[in-house]
Amino acid sequence: MSDSDLLTKFIAGDRSAFRELFEEHNDAVLQVARYYAGERYEDVAQETWLAVCKGAHRFEGRSSFKTWLLHICANRARSLGYRESKYLSVDLQDPVAADRFDEGGAWRAPPVPFSDLLADNEERSSVLRVVHAAISELRDPTRAVVTLRDVEGLDTREVAEVLQLSEANVRVLLHRGRAYVREAVEKWRGGES
């Protein structure tokens, strides 16, 4: 069932529909809340879901439910006094970036897709654990960008809107975050044999 269908059912009084929406999207809400509020992220997440409960009937469908939800989260964080950093310093001397990318930001050698490296389901599970651990080690806003883009499936424009970053900053952070994750997987693969 689509998010819009679940939202319609929730508005009509179906509590299980809200539970499904919550279970599907709460990780993304927590990630955005953590980006804005640090250790107080749970307060922001709770306020977000309360706002959705009160304002579900105002969803107009001009964006996806997830984008609408994450905008609410960012707005709740700001209204509670948390501020994000809109300007990022990009360290062009970052060792991860320097080893993998040329001066124009392109890969020096295109990476091999992870799917080509995996032999079986057990190995896939192991790689997923490594990927999730590497993402959790990233600092915000890089962690938020990688999670929203690659885990939650938002496009670059949506991530930029939710986190109030420029699309260029989102691309830079995504590039660097992906390189860090790829390096973690490569180290794991090198150490397993």
CATH number (3.40.50.2020, 1.10.10.2120, 1.10.1740.10, 3.20.20.80) of 3-79 reads 1.10.1740.10
Listed range (29-43, 64-78, 91-105) with the worst mean pLDDT: 91-105
**Segment 4-35, tens digit of pLDDT:** 999 999 999 999 999 999 999 999 999 888 88
Q: Which fold has domain 95-192?
A: Arc Repressor Mutant, subunit A (1.10.10)
Asked if 29 and 37 count as a contact pair (C-beta separation under 8 A), the reply is no
Tell me whether residue 21 is exposed, middle or buried, using C-beta atoms within 10 angstroms of its C-beta: 0 to 12, 13 to 18, 19 or more. Answer: buried
Domain boundaries, the chain: 3-79, 95-192
**Segment 117-131, tens digit of pLDDT:** 555 667 777 888 899
What pTM does this model have? 0.62
Strands (E), the chain: none
**Segment 129-147, tens digit of pLDDT:** 899 899 999 998 999 999 9
In order of 38, 113, 180, 183, 187, the CA distances from 102 in angstroms are: 33, 20, 16, 16, 21
Supply the mean pLDDT for the chain: 82
Q: How far apart are CA 122 and CA 119, in angstroms?
A: 8
Q: Give the pair of three-digit tokens for residue 133.
A: 């651990």
Q: How far apart are CA 123 and CA 161, in angstroms?
A: 36
* Straight-line distance from the first to the last Cα atom of the chain, in angstroms, rounded to the nearest whole number: 43
Taking the CA of residue 145 as centre, how many other CA atoms within 13 Å lie in the half-sphere pointing to its CB? 25
**Segment 146-159, tens digit of pLDDT:** 999 988 889 999 99
Q: How far apart are CA 44 and CA 76, in angstroms?
A: 6
Report the alpha-carbon angle 19-47-149, nearest 5. Answer: 70
Asked if 186 and 100 count as a contact pair (C-beta separation under 8 A), the reply is no
